[in-house]
Structure 1
Amino acid sequence: MKVELVTVDEADKSVLMNLIQFYLYDFSEIRDLALTPHGAFTYRYLDPYFTETAREADFITVDGHLAGFALTRGDVDDDGSWNVAEFFVARGHRRRGVARESARLLFTRRPGVWTLSVDHNNQQAAALWRSVISTVAVGTVAETDRCPPDAAVASTRFRFRVVGQPPRTGGAGESAE
């Protein structure tokens, strides 16, 4: 299984928005997300991924087929660290190592400090991220709980440092799982 990150070009913005609809649909189980009268979820942050240099959008592919996406951004308020803003693997690709491998690729291609937050109601994501972070982080991993009114939702924020790693044996982007 070959997992890769592929930069989303502006011409494929509508494909990314389609995937974001599936992501928000999944999130509607744990957050109060309402459909618009047009039967879609609202995502207000898409355009900046195509206009701001400190934001990156990637498709996750498996053997050349679309499997999800990752949205990352530079946290200028947080000493230049990178942040996983949104991360999604389609249901048909879950529990096969796709999320783990694509996250590893995401982190190791941009060594330095990373942050991400996980909603307290999303225990599966928390377990995934703790597991992935334990394999790529060097040094201390800081976990900080945030709750309203200091945060929009109750969540745990992870902060950790990553160093670049050579590709795994067996070919770049191939999962050992």
Structure 2
Amino acid sequence: MRRAGADDFPVLERLWPMFRHDLSEVRGQLPDPDGTFRSDRLTAAFRDPGWAAYLALRGDRPAGFALVRALETPVRVLNAFFVVRGARRSGVGMTVVREVVAQHPGRWEIPFQDDNHTAARFWRRVAGELAGRDWTEEHRPVPGRPQSPPDTWIGFTV
């Protein structure tokens, strides 16, 4: 895992549609009319100083990414997290989360959708492993999408 620089943007840009495609199953979202998914968060991670992008590697191959926002605030948010299907269930995800969180110690919040059962299990396990029993979970409405079920947010401090 490494912090992504400008040279890594094309790699994350190619991984982004896979991430959004995975989420589309849970969120029921379709691509835009041109066949793309919105990528403003990915762009923000490379342009906004309050964001950071990380590239997960398995050897010299991209295995996923993490986007962090709110670095300038007391609570950091893991805004997007993706592991390529071929690297899932191999420990890559937990390793990346540990390393990203270690780069920015303090309070963390991570949103996910309860309907994404694999992600829900993963994030609850992450919270337990990183914070023991000292973590929270709450449901929050999705801004601008009143028709969507609320997101689940876990919080912990490292």
**What TM-score comes out, normalization by structure 2 length?**
0.88
Report what 1:168 is aligned to.
none
Structure 1 residues 82, 91: closer, same or farther in 2, change over 3 A?
Answer: same
**CA offsets 1:137-170 (integer angstroms, 9 cap, x no match):** 16621111124678764221111101xxxxxxxx
> Per chain length, whose mean CA-contact separation is higher, i.e. which structure has more relative contact order (CA < 8 Å, sep 6+)?
1
Given that residues 69 and 78 in structure 2 are in contact (C-alpha distance below 8 angstroms), is that contact kept between their aligned partners in structure 1?
yes
CA distance in 2, matches of 1:138, 1:120: 21
Partner of 2:104: 110
User: Which residue does the alignment assign to 1:12?
Assistant: 8
- How far the C-alpha of 1:81 sits from its partner, in A, is 1.2
Shift of 1:118: 1.0
Go from structure 1 to structure 2 and tell me whether the alpha carbon gap of 1:149 and 1:42 turns closer, same or farther (over 3 Å shift): closer
Pick the aligned partner of 1:35 from 28, 31, 49. 31
SS in 2 for 1:28: helix
Q: 1:48 aligns with which of 44, 51, 62?
A: 44
- Partners in 2 of 1:49 and 1:17 — Cα distance? 11
Letter in 2 for 1:102: V
Bigger radius of gyration: 1
* Stretch deviating more after TM superposition (36-45 or 124-133): 36-45
- Contact 2:42–2:67 under 8 Å retained in 1: no
Deviations 1:96-136 (A, max 9, x none): 11111111111122211000111121111011011111111
Aligned ranges 1:84-99 → 2 under 5 Å: 84-99=78-93
SS of structure 2 residue aligned to 1:18: helix
- Per-residue CA deviation, residues 27-61 of structure 1 (Å, 9 max, x unaligned), is 11111322234322222222221222110001001
Alpha-carbon displacement from aligned partner over 1:4-40 (angstroms, at most 9, x marks no partner): x212222332221110100011111111322234322
Deviates more, 1:148-157 or 1:118-127: 148-157
Q: Aligned partners of 1:113 and 1:149: how far apart in 2?
A: 22
Q: Extract unaligned runs of 5+ from structure 2.
A: none
Instruction: Name the structure where helix makes up a greater proportion of residues.
Output: 2
2:55 aligned with 1:59: yes
Aligned-residue Cα RMSD (Å) equals 2.1
The percent identity for this pair of structures is: 29
1:30 aligns to what SS in structure 2? helix
Call closer, same or farther: CA 1:109–1:44 in 2, change over 3 Å: closer
Gaps of 5+ in 1: 163-177
Structure with more of its chain in strand, by fraction: 1
Question: What is the identity, as a one-letter code, of the residue corresponding to 2:30?
Answer: A
Check conservation: 1:139, 1:160, Cα contact below 8 A: no
